[in-house]
Amino acid sequence: MERNGIFHSVCPLDCPDQCGLLLHKKDGKIVKVEGDPEHPVTKGHICNKVRNMTERIYDENRLKYPLKRIGPKGEGKFTRISWEEALRTITAHWSELIHSDGPESILPYSFYGNMGRLSAEGIDRRFFHRLGASRLDQTICSSAGSVGYKYTMGGSLGIDPEDTIHSKLIFFWGINAASTNMHQVALAQKARKQNGAKIIVIDVHKNQTGRLADWFIPILPGTDSALALGLMQIMFAENMVDQDFLQTYTVGHEELREHVMQYNPETVSAITGVPVADIYKLARMYGETSPSFIRIGNGPQHHDNGGMFVRTVACLPALTGQWLVKGGGAIKGNSGYLALNTEYLQRPNLLKNKNTRIVNMNLLGEALLSLDPPIKSLYVYGSNPAVVAPSSHKVRKGLAREDLFTVVHDLFLTETAKYADIVLPATSSFENTDIYTSYWHHYTQLQQPVIEPFGEAKSNVEVFRLLAHTMGFGDEAAFKETEAEMIEGTLNNPRNPYLAGINFEGLAESNYLKAKVKPLFPGKLPTPSGKIELYSERMKQDGHPPLPTYIPLLNDGDHPYQFVPGPNHNFLNSTFSNNQKHVDLEKEPRLHMNKKDALAAGIQDGEMVRVWNDRGECTLKVSIGESVLPGVVVSQGLWADENGTKQLVNVLTPDRIADMGGGATFFSGRVSIEKN
Ligand SMILES: Nc1nc2c(c(=O)[nH]1)N[C@H]1C(S)=C(S)[C@@H](COP(=O)(O)OP(=O)(O)OC[C@H]3O[C@@H](n4cnc5c(=O)[nH]c(N)nc54)[C@H](O)[C@@H]3O)O[C@H]1N2
Ligand SMILES: Nc1nc2c(c(=O)[nH]1)N[C@H]1C(S)=C(S)[C@@H](COP(=O)(O)OP(=O)(O)OC[C@H]3O[C@@H](n4cnc5c(=O)[nH]c(N)nc54)[C@H](O)[C@@H]3O)O[C@H]1N2
Ligand code: SF4
Ligand SMILES: [Mo]
């Protein structure tokens, strides 16, 4: 490996932009991370978080070798052990458990701390399939919205974001894109400059994204479906719909026209808090401007009714036939275009018992506390559930169980790792070989090792290979393949013509290969009818209203404020919350509150308040202003909760399951607030 030079790389974080990077190396160490100007979409611009990535890669607290716990669970006292001892301890426990309780007593828990496909959903799946462990339903992020979008559009298929420079009207609907999808903001700003495009932001919080809007529309949490239906009502009533498009490419437009009559502007205004005049103005702008583009965010789908919200908004572009116009349409997610050969990557055929139980990751606390037969061992990688999972009071109680054998594989001694019996050190993505596909743009990228593994750290791929070997599955080809072989087999997906021609060698040579994506229309969608389903028979069969509908949030107890604890600018979920540089950039967690509410409660700006409900309590510093509507409070960031700081917002969040996809309802909780 060369000790000096500039090397191509890709951002591994769970962020739609998936930037191309250049790593500057000096004397064997990365000294600078910058954007690669040759990436066709991200064009050399990267966020603050990753510009400071060296602070994380070489953080003095990074795990260097395996550890065994020597203090109580949660306290964080560990001693160094060898890899051999770690692997022997884990596999001996598991072999015993398989014998005494069966393999379903073991639960893997993971998410996308590293988006590399081999790391996050490759050899790990092969391993746990072969082991026969309980399966994890990965519902924490976007599953409600993905299911909702699929009912309308058939799959995670939107427009090419590169086309959005042609848009003349751009909605950021429930997405804090300035922090979470910065290159979509750059494209929107380019459209604004080139074609005078207007940027509309619809959000419960006037954050960085709202501040750059031409028009910011504040809305009450969980009411967005009503607004979308109200826009439809006006568009039908004022004849702003494209009858030809509706006739040719949709199912149920006549039923929809009838159905939306109940969502008149007065009714919608009372539900959403958006003034009647603004609803008319917005409907007319949307009805009369083409191309128009809606970037559908994750915020409004982290609610009880989140699936239905996305299903509903996804109907809007059809009304004016936007899908036929370059730069018109919507993006919720685009992963459908880059679908890999998962049969090959994950080997579901290794799973002998097809009825192996499935555990919803949003219910981790419940699962650890009350699943019968119980979970006796938990293996966590690429995720930090003690901080990120809802109702974390339950999660922590479960993690503290003395009879639970927990293993955590991570780069840091996260709050979850503090509960582990065995901690394994993970490499950073810059030390690995892996394949990356964006869920927003259409490019695929390859990562090859740029630096040597840190200390004794090992990649997920290597750890699962070793676990398979130690368990005695060594004979399976599935655990012997090289990374390059896995990547080659995974890219070869006969069911996805868009990926044709993309392979390991090509990626190694040209860095960025674009899927050969065609516009969705004219064409046939993967819905049952092949058309956009404004009316969905499938939804009816699944127990949902077949037409888009506003369903209020569920009762979350008698507390005066709706609590929306979203992500912040300088962390990525809980990643970076344990790196001093990023903590310093973000300063401290804050609770945004409307000045009317603050006045009524006698709370001053900058004061510490106790935020509580039946699940738990936090202590946060209040920021008073008009960035949220009365009755709504917003916090940002998943902060570590060290030394009794009480800033862990997920102790307050419900673990109710959303209407679709087993999704999370982080933003549907209510809280009370008082001076500390
Ligand atoms: N800097 C940074 N970038 C990130 C992340 C991060 O933690 N930090 N996380 C990454 C991940 S995993 C994801 S999933 C994405 C998420 O990124 P986004 O799609 O932006 O989703 P959120 O930030 O959860 O919420 C977006 C917005 O929805 C608003 N919101 C909440 N409830 C409602 C509602 O009922 N109606 C409306 N209209 N708005 C509402 C919030 O105020 C917030 O501004 O970002 C990714 N990128
Ligand atoms: N209150 C509230 N809670 C939320 C959200 C919210 O908006 N509000 N957002 C939710 C969403 S959208 C998501 S996606 C989840 C995300 O939750 P998580 O998936 O848990 O994301 P992170 O907190 O970033 O944790 C990822 C962990 O993986 C580790 N890691 C990174 N690379 C590797 C690797 O190669 N191997 C191994 N073994 N480990 C690695 C990192 O060090 C880090 O500790 O959080 C959810 N929680
Ligand atoms: S976190 Fe997102 S914006 Fe930042 S470098 Fe990574 S992909 Fe780009
Ligand atoms: Mo997410």
SS3 334: coil
- Report the atom number in ligand 1 closest to the C-alpha of 207: 44
Please state, in angstroms and rounded to a whole number, the distance separating the CA atoms of residues 215 and 204: 14
Q: Has residue 525 been placed in a domain?
A: no
- Residue 643 pLDDT: 75
Do 101 and 232 lie in one domain? The reply is no
Identify how many contiguous H helices and E strands the chain contains and give both numbers. 26, 27
Q: Has residue 305 been placed in a domain?
A: yes
Q: Has residue 608 been placed in a domain?
A: yes
Do 406 and 457 lie in one domain? The reply is yes
**Is residue 306 lining ligand 1, measured as CB closer than 6 Å?**
no
Residue 519 has pLDDT above 90, yes or no: yes
Ligand nearest to the CA of 429: 2
Do 471 and 351 lie in one domain? The reply is yes
Determine how many CB atoms are found less than 10 A away from the CB of residue 557.
12
- Rounded mean pLDDT of 340-356? 96
Ligand nearest to the CA of 297: 1
Confidence of residue 642 (pLDDT cuts 50, 70, 90): confident
Do 345 and 328 lie in one domain? The reply is no
Print the domain residue range for 573. 561-675
State in Å: Cα 339 to ligand 1 middle: 24
- Residue 559 pLDDT: 98
Pocket test for ligand 2, best of 638, 641, 650 (most atoms within 8 A of CB): 638
Looking at the structure of the chain, the number of domains it has is 3
Q: Has residue 311 been placed in a domain?
A: yes
Do 323 and 200 lie in one domain? The reply is yes
Q: Has residue 369 been placed in a domain?
A: yes
- Report the atom number in ligand 1 closest to the C-alpha of 297: 19
- Report the atom number in ligand 3 closest to the C-alpha of 572: 1
**Is residue 203 lining ligand 1, measured as CB closer than 6 Å?**
yes
**Is residue 586 lining ligand 1, measured as CB closer than 6 Å?**
no
**Is residue 69 lining ligand 1, measured as CB closer than 6 Å?**
no
**Is residue 567 lining ligand 1, measured as CB closer than 6 Å?**
yes
CA dihedral angle for residue 160, residue 165, residue 168, residue 172, rounded to 10 degrees? 60
Pocket test for ligand 1, best of 42, 114, 204 (most atoms within 8 A of CB): 204
- What sign does the dihedral 412-416-418-424 (CA atoms) show? negative
The CA-atom distances, in angstroms, between 432 and each of 5, 123, 205 are 18, 14, 38
Q: Has residue 153 been placed in a domain?
A: no
pLDDT digits (tens, 9 = 90+) for 139-198: 999 999 999 999 999 999 999 999 999 999 999 999 999 999 999 999 999 999 999 999
- Residue 533 pLDDT: 98
pTM of the predicted model over 0.85: yes
Q: What CATH number has the domain bearing residue 215?
A: 3.40.228.10
Do 325 and 405 lie in one domain? The reply is no
Confidence of residue 17 (pLDDT cuts 50, 70, 90): very high
- Residue 342 pLDDT: 97
Pocket test for ligand 3, best of 17, 33, 53, 582 (most atoms within 8 A of CB): 17
Give the closest residue (by CA) to ligand 1 atom 31.
Answer: 299
DSSP for 497-511, written as a single string: GGGTT--HHHHHHHS
Do 376 and 475 lie in one domain? The reply is yes
Do 201 and 284 lie in one domain? The reply is yes
- Residue 645 pLDDT: 87
pLDDT digits (tens, 9 = 90+) for 594-634: 999 999 999 999 999 999 999 999 999 999 999 999 999 99
Q: Ligand 2 site: residues with CB under 6 angstroms?
A: 14, 111-114, 119, 140-141, 298, 381-384, 388, 409-412, 414, 426, 429, 460, 565-567, 572-575, 638, 649-650, 653, 666
Ligand nearest to the CA of 298: 1
pLDDT digits (tens, 9 = 90+) for 241-275: 999 999 999 999 999 999 999 999 999 999 999 99
State in Å: Cα 302 to ligand 1 middle: 9
DSSP for 569-589, written as a single string: SSSBTTBTTT-HHHHHHH-S-
Residue 28 has pLDDT above 80, yes or no: yes
- Domain C-terminal end among 286, 302, 332: 332
- What sign does the dihedral 550-554-555-560 (CA atoms) show? negative
Q: What CATH number has the domain bearing residue 585?
A: 2.40.40.20
SS3 652: coil
Q: What CATH number has the domain bearing residue 465?
A: 3.40.50.740
Give the closest residue (by CA) to ligand 3 atom 4.
Answer: 47
Residue 542 phi, psi dihedral angles, 5° rounding: -85, 5
- Report the atom number in ligand 1 closest to the C-alpha of 637: 7
Please state, in angstroms and rounded to a whole number, the distance separating the CA atoms of residues 340 and 24: 31
Residue 18 phi, psi dihedral angles, 5° rounding: 35, 70
Q: Has residue 516 been placed in a domain?
A: no
- What sign does the dihedral 192-198-204-207 (CA atoms) show? positive
Do 295 and 342 lie in one domain? The reply is no
Do 295 and 201 lie in one domain? The reply is yes
Confidence of residue 476 (pLDDT cuts 50, 70, 90): confident
SS3 64: coil
Do 405 and 258 lie in one domain? The reply is no
- Domain C-terminal end among 332, 356, 372: 332
- Domain C-terminal end among 280, 301, 332: 332
Do 302 and 408 lie in one domain? The reply is no
The CA-atom distances, in angstroms, between 367 and each of 285, 372, 395, 666 are 48, 9, 9, 18
Q: Has residue 271 been placed in a domain?
A: yes
